[in-house]
Amino acid sequence: MAAAAGDPAAEPLRVLQASAEIYPLVKTGGLADVAGALPGALRRAGADVRLLLPGYPAILDALEPDDAAPAELAAPWGETARLRRGRLAPLDLPAWVIEHAPSYARAGGPYADAAGIAYADNHRRFAWLGWAAARLACGLDPDWRPQVVHGHDWHAGLAPAYLAFARRRGETGALGVFTVHNLAYQGLFPAERFGELGLPAEAYGLHGLEFHGQLSFMKAGLSYADRLSTVSPTYAREITTPEQGCGLDGLLRERAARLAGILNGVDTAVWDPATDALIAERYTARKPSGKAACKLALQRELGLAERPEAPLFTVVSRLTEQKGLHLLAHGAAELLRRGGQLALLGSGEPALEAAFRALAAERPDAAAVRVGYDEALSHRLFAGGDVTLVPSRFEPCGLTQMYGLKYGSLPLVHRVGGLADTVVDCALEELAEERATGFVFDRFDDASFGRAVRRAFALWARPAEWRRVQRRAMAQDLGWDASAARYLQLYREAAAA
């Protein structure tokens, strides 16, 4: 194992990626974008990557099964699933899908019913993912056995735990890597469920899954993986502090030597204004004229005044406490008063939805709100907008500011997590040194946010300078290749340890 992983001339490293979402089939946020792009980037970097996914109908429908008979998968809690093998058509990648209709064929979302209530059996629905990953590592499929099992977020948090105990029993040599996409979502379940999971008694303890009297799937991943990562260098530091550690900072400090911060990339097959079929006109940093057409088309579509001279601020976001959009709710009137426009796409907290709807009703010429989830409109917002607002309270990596950079819609962000790692403020010294790419505020309050908005207006008043910053933003290398190389390095470190 160590030789194969450490020696580039050896056979490609066999890596199983386990995730609960995958673009374009099942997506609630950035996790899906990463799960859809990272495997391809790892394959280009020379790894033999395969996927393991829950059998939601959209995923089963997209699987082109191969000739192998589905493997029977018996879970410790007594249910039986079938593990189907084939190619996942939209991504053209080999995959296993856990077919278990009682768990996954449901009318609601991936984690909760239509009313937003989390499914009561989520511990089993996602224990399947960890269990299947570990069974594959133990040789369930005689044709292919992973050397590394890479689990994403709490949904796959049991994979490293099952794997670690299987290794102790000598059933596998595979290593566990676990990536945190958002520490705030931990997969907490009542302690009484522990008996269903088939883990040894010692796993329910301070050094295992136990978290303040509950089970934590996130903690399982953090405790048992051989290597940990999260999605930006700054967030990797932040989660080792009490402020952002969500109660797991002590464990993360203990394991800090094994924790890497690897920035997400942008999947340019999906997000590139030069080729994007979903936008009104294609454009590039060198030939930006199509962006003006995109802006006009967007203003028309949303019923905004067709004013090229008005800076158009956009938001594509979940409307949750994390995203800091109450700062925008407080500052929006001032933004419009200064002559800006606002277009928002998102859904979430009813109070925020109502606040933005009220604004749009009051100023339909200058503010437009679309409540819901709309992938195509999100592309048109990045292409047509001038500023992408991401004032998050905390942000592990953040993808929308990167889409803003790529589409020349300058990000306005709070200096936190991945936002701090990807955007450089238009302070005079940064402008002078040709580094600025957006607007960054330090303190998470209305005044600081308001000053960043004023900086955006100040730059907008200097069109030549704006275009220079925009060109730089669009030229920033945000591709996946560098990050894929870092993940490969992480796998090798795990193998060498």
* Interface contacts to ligand ADP, rule CB under 6 A: 29-30, 33, 316-318, 345-347, 373-375, 378, 397-400
Tell me how far, at minimum, the Cβ of 465 lies from ligand ADP, in Å.
27
State which residue, 33 or 226, has the beta carbon closest to ligand ADP.
Answer: 33
Residue nearest to ligand ADP (CB): 30
d(CA 459, CA 432): 13
**b or e along 70-90 (b: 16 or more beta carbons within 10 Å of the residue's beta carbon)?**
ebebebebeeebebbbbbbee
Tell me how far, at minimum, the Cβ of 421 lies from ligand ADP, in Å.
13
State which residue, 23 or 491, has the beta carbon closest to ligand ADP.
Answer: 23
State which residue, 33 or 276, has the beta carbon closest to ligand ADP.
Answer: 33
State which residue, 203 or 397, has the beta carbon closest to ligand ADP.
Answer: 397
State which residue, 176 or 417, has the beta carbon closest to ligand ADP.
Answer: 417
State which residue, 214 or 322, has the beta carbon closest to ligand ADP.
Answer: 322
State which residue, 185 or 194, has the beta carbon closest to ligand ADP.
Answer: 185
Tell me how far, at minimum, the Cβ of 385 lies from ligand ADP, in Å.
12
Terminal alpha carbon distance of the chain: 11
What is the 3-state secondary structure of 313-348?
EEEEEEECHHHCHHHHHHHHHHHHHCCCEEEEEEEE
Strands (E), 19-137: 48-54, 63-65, 71-74, 80-88, 93-99
Copy the structure tokens of residue 108.
């609601």
Residues 6+ apart with CB under 8 A from 377: 345, 370
Tell me how far, at minimum, the Cβ of 152 lies from ligand ADP, in Å.
12
d(CA 413, CA 232): 15
Copy the structure tokens of residue 317.
């976001």
Q: How many CB atoms lie within 10 A of CB 69?
A: 9
State which residue, 208 or 417, has the beta carbon closest to ligand ADP.
Answer: 417
Half-sphere exposure of 195 (CA within 13 A, CB side): 1
Tell me how far, at minimum, the Cβ of 222 lies from ligand ADP, in Å.
19
Q: Is 174:227 a contact under the CB 8 Å cutoff?
A: no
Q: Is 127:473 a contact under the CB 8 Å cutoff?
A: no
State which residue, 27 or 43, has the beta carbon closest to ligand ADP.
Answer: 27
Tell me how far, at minimum, the Cβ of 397 lies from ligand ADP, in Å.
6
DSSP structural state of residue 117 = P
Tell me how far, at minimum, the Cβ of 322 lies from ligand ADP, in Å.
7
What CA–CA distances, in Å, run from 138 to 163, 167, 175? 9, 9, 11
User: What is the residue type of 279?
Assistant: I
- The two beta strands, 214-216 and 210-211, are antiparallel
Tell me how far, at minimum, the Cβ of 380 lies from ligand ADP, in Å.
11
Tell me how far, at minimum, the Cβ of 249 lies from ligand ADP, in Å.
20
User: What would the DSSP string read from start to end of 257-274?
Assistant: GGEEE------TTTS-TT
